[in-house]
Amino acid sequence: MAATLDINGKPVTVQAAPETPLLWVLRDELGLTGTKYGCGIAQCGACTVHANGTAIRSCQAPIGSLAGVKITTIEGLEGRHPVQAAWVKLDVPQCGYCQSGQIMSATALLAKTPKPSDGDIDAAMSGNICRCGAYQRIRAAIKDAAGVVAA
């Protein structure tokens, strides 16, 4: 079955059943492996991408539901987002496996809330697990990118 998706500003046609989660289409069909698998049940956030600018879990998004939706993956940020620069500046990543998802949640947060409070950060980021426990630096890097002074 063919489906057409809008990924990182380009229309792409894939051969996959409509119930196939976007995550597996991105990774296995399109080779966009920056988006990670961590749980498959919307618990960990490793698979986070943007759908029309909102952070969603791609493991729970069947491609059949995404016609006309603009999808942005970590690759779509092209390494130019201030959040990515802050991540490098503060050496946020440890193993790094969760970080694409963290960055997609953080960029979606800043798009809507340019100067987030600690509470805003907790609310936006608590769906993203980091087993390495880089939370402190994730928080600091979000504030750095937003130009708000760390508490």
Partner 1 sequence: MNAPFKALAKLRPSRREMIVVSAAAAGGALLVGCSPADILSIGADNKHFGPFGPFLRIDADGTVTVVSKHIEFGQGSHASLAAMVAEELDADWDKLKVAQAGANAKVYANLDQGAQGTGGSSAIHNSWDQLRKVGAATRAMFVTAAADRWKVHANEISVANGVVAHPSGQSATFADLVANAAKVKPPGSPKLKDPKAYTLIGTNRVRRKDSLAKATGTARFTQDVHLPNMLTAMVAHSPRFGGKVKSFDADAAKKIPGVVDVFKIPSGVAVTAQNTFAARQGRDALKVEWDDDKAETRGSDAILAAYHDLASGKTAATDKLKWQPFDSHGVGVAPGAGKVVEVAYDFPFLAHAPMEPMNCVAEIGGGKNKLTSGSQIPTLDQLNTGMIVGALPGSVEIETLFAGGSFGRRANFQSDYAAECVHIAKHVGGGRPVKLVWTREDDMTGGYYRPMVHHAVRVTLGADGYPAHWRHRIVSQSVMKGSPMPSKGVDESAVEGVSGSPYLKATPVVDAQAILPDSPIPVLWWRSVGATHTAFVMEHTIDQLARAAGKDPIDYRRALYTKAGADRHLVALSLALEKAGLNPAPGYTRGVAAHESFGSVVVQIAEVKLDGGVPKVGRVVTAIDCGTAISPDQVAAQMEGGTCFGLSAALFGQITLKDGVVDQKNFDAYRVLRMNEAPHVETYIVPSGAHPSGVGEPGTPVIAPAVANAILAITGKPTTSLPFVKA
- Interface mask (CB under 8 A) for partner 1, residues 60-99, using x and -? -------------xxx-x-x----x--xx--xxxxxxxxx
Q: CA 135 to CA 143: how far, in whole Å?
A: 12
Q: Which is nearer to partner 1, 51 or 107 (CB)?
A: 107
Other beta carbons less than 10 A from residue 123's beta carbon:
13
| Inter-axis angle of helices 82-89 and 135-146, nearest 10 | 130
Binding partner at 57 among ligand FES, partner 1, none, C-beta below 5 to 8 Å by kind: ligand FES
Under the criterion CB under 8 A, does residue 107 sit at the interface with partner 1? no
91 burial type by CB count under 10 A (0-12 exposed, 13-18 middle, 19+ buried): exposed
d(C-alpha 37, C-alpha 59), whole Å = 7
The reply to whether 39 sits near partner 1 by the rule CB under 8 A is yes
Q: Is 57 in the site for ligand FES (CB under 6 A)?
A: yes
Positions that interact with ligand FES (CB under 6 A): 37-40, 42-47, 57, 59, 93-99, 130-132, 134
